[in-house]
Amino acid sequence: MMEALVPVLKSHPGPSVLVFSLLFRVAHQLLQRLPVPKVVKHDDFRSWKWRNLSVSLVHSVLTGAWALTCVVVWPETLRNIHSYHTPLSYLLVCVSTGYFVHDAGDIILTGHARGSWEFLIHHVLVIWNFLYALYTQLYVAGAVIALFVEVNSVTLHLRLMMKLAGVQSSSMFKINKFANLFTYIAFRLGAHFYITSYIFHNYSWMDHGGYLLFSMMVMNIMILIYFYRLLRADFFPWRQSYAGQNGMHNNSKKFLTD
- What one-character-per-residue DSSP string does 119-187 give? HHHHHHHHHHHHHHHHHH--SHHHHHHHTTHHHHHHHHHHHHHHHHTT-TTSHHHHHHHHHHHHHIIII
- Percent of residues, the chain, with pLDDT higher than 90: 69
> Count of CB atoms within 10 A of residue 247's CB?
18
Mean predicted confidence (pLDDT) in 243-258: 47
CA-angle at 198, arms to 183 and 94, nearest 5°: 65
Q: Binning pLDDT at 50, 70 and 90, where does residue 241 land?
A: low
Res. 3: pLDDT tops 90: no
> Count of CB atoms within 10 A of residue 242's CB?
7
Res. 75: pLDDT tops 50: yes
Mean predicted confidence (pLDDT) in 46-51: 93
pLDDT computed for residue 67 by the predictor: 98
Q: Binning pLDDT at 50, 70 and 90, where does residue 207 land?
A: confident
Mean predicted confidence (pLDDT) in 185-208: 92
C-alpha 221/C-alpha 145 separation (Å) is: 18
Q: How far is CA 85 from CA 78, 88, 173, 206, in A?
A: 10, 8, 38, 16
Res. 242: pLDDT tops 50: no
Q: Which of 65, 28, 56 is nearest to 123 (CA)?
A: 56
pLDDT computed for residue 211 by the predictor: 85
> Which span out of 30-39, 92-101, 158-167 was modeled with the highest average pLDDT?
92-101
Mean predicted confidence (pLDDT) in 229-252: 64
Given a contact cutoff of 8 angstroms between Cβ atoms, the answer to whether 255 and 164 are in contact is yes
Residues 6 or more apart in contact with residue 163 via CB below 8 angstroms: 173, 248, 255, 258
Can you give the residue ranges of every domain in the chain?
2-237+247-257
Res. 128: pLDDT tops 90: yes
Identity of residue 63: T
Res. 8: pLDDT tops 90: no
pLDDT computed for residue 181 by the predictor: 97
Coil vs helix vs strand at 228: helix
> Which parts of the chain fold into alpha helices (H)?
2-11, 13-31, 38-41, 44-73, 76-79, 87-109, 117-136, 140-146, 149-164, 171-183, 190-202, 209-234, 242-245, 247-250
- Percent of residues, the chain, with pLDDT higher than 70: 91
Q: Binning pLDDT at 50, 70 and 90, where does residue 160 land?
A: very high
> pTM of the prediction?
0.90
What rounded mean pLDDT belongs to the chain? Answer: 89
Q: Binning pLDDT at 50, 70 and 90, where does residue 29 land?
A: very high
Given a contact cutoff of 8 angstroms between Cβ atoms, the answer to whether 145 and 195 are in contact is yes
